[in-house]
A and B are shown apart, each in its own frame.
Chain A
Amino acid sequence: MNDVVTAVLIVVGGAFMLLAGVGIVRMPDLFMRMQAATKAATLGAGCMLMAVAVHFGELTVVTRALLVTAFVFLTAPVAAHMIARAAYSVGTPLWKGTIADEFRCENDRVGQSAGETSTAQRANPAAREK
């Protein structure tokens, strides 16, 4: 029974990691790649560490597996947020099909609609202040 649960968790975790790998290659711009990589890979790592916990079933191993899982779940969003903010401030281009850029509007606070701001100003990164 334990073996079956472990096997399922390992395969599901591996599948999520593979999805993250496909996502980071196939997605069109940095921010989409990042969401594919961060979320899917975090869930995959969580599944695989849970598989370790189920397989060994000892207190010390389960504790360490839970510790690593909690650590990955806490740090992955923080790291992704930091890269996203840094990449945005550097002016990494968005995908050309992007229709809304809410972060941009929040910084401007000039009351333009989301669609107009993003396509017009994003097309010309040099026009952005700062």
Chain B
Amino acid sequence: MNLDDITLLEGAVMLGLVMTGLAMFLAFFRLVRGPSLPDRVVALDLIGIIAVGVIAAYDILTEQPVLLDAATVVALVAFLGTVAFARYVERRQQDE
């Protein structure tokens, strides 16, 4: 693709994708690094929310509004996963 062919919108979407990708990398760094389980849960939640943003940007790039359904599902799974992990962290404390 020639650089002159890129429209304003495409450039903005690509910039947005680069920034969200960088943010996802940073969140992944925190997920690997820890140090505690709640830190990892927060990082996982952040990755879920960033994935919604990536899907939204990709929607515009490919002109495919159908992908918004996938964004709904990702948001739902991220929320449920976070709540389940929060309960797990609390329960694990009580068992000890």
A79 in contact with B15 (CB, 8 Å): no
Across-interface contacts of A34 in B (CB, < 8 A): 42
* Number of A residues, CB within 8 Å of B: 54
Of listed B25, B43, B65, residue having the most chain A CB within 10 A: B65
Quick one: which of A1-44 are within 8 Å of B by CB?
3-4, 6-8, 10-11, 13-15, 17-18, 20-22, 24-25, 30, 33-34, 37-38, 41-42, 44
A20 in contact with B23 (CB, 8 Å): yes
A20 in contact with B46 (CB, 8 Å): yes
Across-interface contacts of B79 in A (CB, < 8 A): 71, 75-76, 78-79
Q: A14-B19, A48-B53, A67-B72 are in contact. Are A24 and B46 (CB under 8 A)?
A: yes
Q: Contacting chain B: which of A81-89, A95-103, A111-119? A: A81-89
B45 in contact with A83 (CB, 8 Å): yes
- Nearest residue (CB) in B for A87 is B38
Interface residue from A22, A51, A71 paired with B56 (Cβ < 8 Å): A51
Q: How would you classify the secondary structure of chain B's contact residues: helix, strand, loop or mixed?
A: helix
Whether A123 is near chain B, meaning CB under 8 Å from some CB there, is: no
Across-interface contacts of A85 in B (CB, < 8 A): 86, 90
Of listed A7, A86, A90, residue having the most chain B CB within 10 A: A86
What are 7 A-B interface contacts by the 8 Å CB criterion?
A14-B19, A17-B20, A42-B49, A52-B56, A68-B68, A68-B72, A86-B86
- A binding-site residues for B, Cβ under 8 Å: 3-4, 6-8, 10-11, 13-15, 17-18, 20-22, 24-25, 30, 33-34, 37-38, 41-42, 44-45, 48-49, 51-52, 55-56, 58, 60-61, 64-65, 67-68, 71-72, 75-76, 78-80, 82-83, 85-87, 89-90, 92
- B binding-site residues for A, Cβ under 8 Å: 7-9, 11-13, 15-20, 22-27, 29-30, 36, 38-39, 41-43, 45-46, 49-50, 52-53, 56-57, 59-60, 65, 68-69, 71-72, 75-76, 78-79, 82-83, 85-87, 89-90, 92-93
